[in-house]
């Protein structure tokens, strides 16, 4: 007897936040704004990596922006028609409704620690993906203004703010698969050449970037000629991740 299907409400999205926000953007203001039915293939044609296109569709379903068949919901249409502060408020409402169970378990998402986030997500399906689900949730909350970017900047002894966010390399299917060789060295704001603050949002972002890279060899466009630049991209991200995890002073 086949296992029962897991309801949408019990499987939050786990796609990379940058791909999820890109999908929402192109469906509200971009080339897919007039398309009524979305699909993983349509997202891949708009630079969503093939390894993340299905997870992005799953995230959109959980947010109730598309239905089970992929058709845009009224909430998605209303989001597309809103602008400025109104759009952010609508996104905030969408997130609160979709993640109502999580919000009910967290007294304050701004002060919740990692263990409290894990507890809030513990009853959802696919425990091995809970970490990614939490990462996406936090990213969506930041985009909607429900969670500030506090911790992304720090003060030096002379009180000047330095942005410690490292611009992740673009790891979509276009740059590596077209033989992109000029991989930029990662930049990081530091004192005396060392990272002095652990940026957990950055760590989560690096993990997402590495996962996208891991999926690239599965692309139909992949050839062995891509491997040197692919390996370099992985090495840069892994080395930076190791530095962040060690919290070197």
How confident is the model at residue 200, as a pLDDT?
A: 57
Query: Is 98 within 8 Å of 64 (Cβ atoms)?
Result: yes
Task: State how far the Cα of 36 lies from the Cα of 66, in Å rounded to an integer.
Answer: 9
How many other CB atoms are found less than 10 A from the CB of residue 216? 23
Task: State how far the Cα of 50 lies from the Cα of 228, in Å rounded to an integer.
Answer: 20
How far, in Å, are 15, 63, 97 from residue 8 at the CA level? 15, 9, 13
How confident is the model at residue 142, as a pLDDT?
A: 92
How many other CB atoms are found less than 10 A from the CB of residue 45? 12
The partner residues of 71 in beta bridges, in order of sequence, read: 37
Q: What is the pLDDT along the chain (249 residues), one digit of tens a residue?
A: 333 444 656 789 899 999 999 999 998 888 888 889 999 899 998 888 888 888 999 999 999 999 988 999 999 999 999 988 899 999 999 999 999 999 999 999 999 999 999 999 999 988 888 999 999 999 999 999 998 865 443 333 333 333 333 334 344 444 444 433 333 333 333 333 333 334 555 676 677 778 778 888 887 888 888 888 888 888 887 887 777 676 543
Q: Is the dihedral of CA 203, 209, 212, 213 positive or negative?
A: negative
Task: State how far the Cα of 100 lies from the Cα of 97, in Å rounded to an integer.
Answer: 5
Query: Is 87 within 8 Å of 79 (Cβ atoms)?
Result: yes
Name the DSSP class of 163: E
How confident is the model at residue 121, as a pLDDT?
A: 94
Task: State how far the Cα of 57 lies from the Cα of 248, in Å rounded to an integer.
Answer: 38
How confident is the model at residue 220, as a pLDDT?
A: 82
Residue found by looking up tokens 């990462």 in the block: 135
The partner residues of 66 in beta bridges, in order of sequence, read: 72
The partner residues of 114 in beta bridges, in order of sequence, read: none
Task: State how far the Cα of 249 lies from the Cα of 174, in Å rounded to an integer.
Answer: 36
């Amino acid at each position: 007897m086949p296992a029962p299907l897991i309801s949408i409400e019990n499987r939050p999205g786990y796609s990379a936040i940058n791909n999820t926000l890109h999908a929402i953007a192109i469906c509200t203001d971009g080339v897919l704004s007039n398309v009524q039915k979305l699909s993983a293939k349509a997202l891949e044609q708009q630079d969503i990596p093939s390894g993340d296109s299905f997870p992005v569709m799953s995230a959109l379903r959980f947010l109730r922006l598309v239905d089970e068949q992929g058709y845009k919901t009224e909430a998605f249409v209303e989001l597309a028609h809103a602008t400025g502060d109104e759009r952010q408020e609508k996104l905030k409402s969408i997130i609160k409704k979709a993640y109502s169970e999580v919000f009910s378990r967290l007294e304050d998402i701004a002060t919740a620690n990692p263990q409290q986030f894990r507890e809030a997500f513990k009853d959802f399906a696919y425990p091995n993906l809970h970490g990614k689900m939490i990462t996406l949730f936090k990213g969506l909350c930041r985009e909607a203004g429900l969670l500030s970017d506090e911790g992304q900047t720090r003060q030096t002894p002379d009180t000047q703010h330095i942005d410690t966010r490292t611009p992740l390399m673009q790891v979509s299917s276009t740059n590596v698969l077209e033989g992109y060789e000029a991989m930029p060295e990662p930049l990081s704001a530091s004192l005396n050449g060392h990272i002095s603050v652990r940026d957990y949002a950055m760590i989560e972002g690096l993990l997402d970037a590495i996962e996208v890279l891991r999926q690239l060899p599965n692309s139909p466009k992949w050839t062995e000629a891509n491997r040197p630049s692919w390996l370099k991209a992985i090495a840069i991200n892994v080395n930076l991740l190791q530095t962040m995890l060690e919290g070197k002073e």
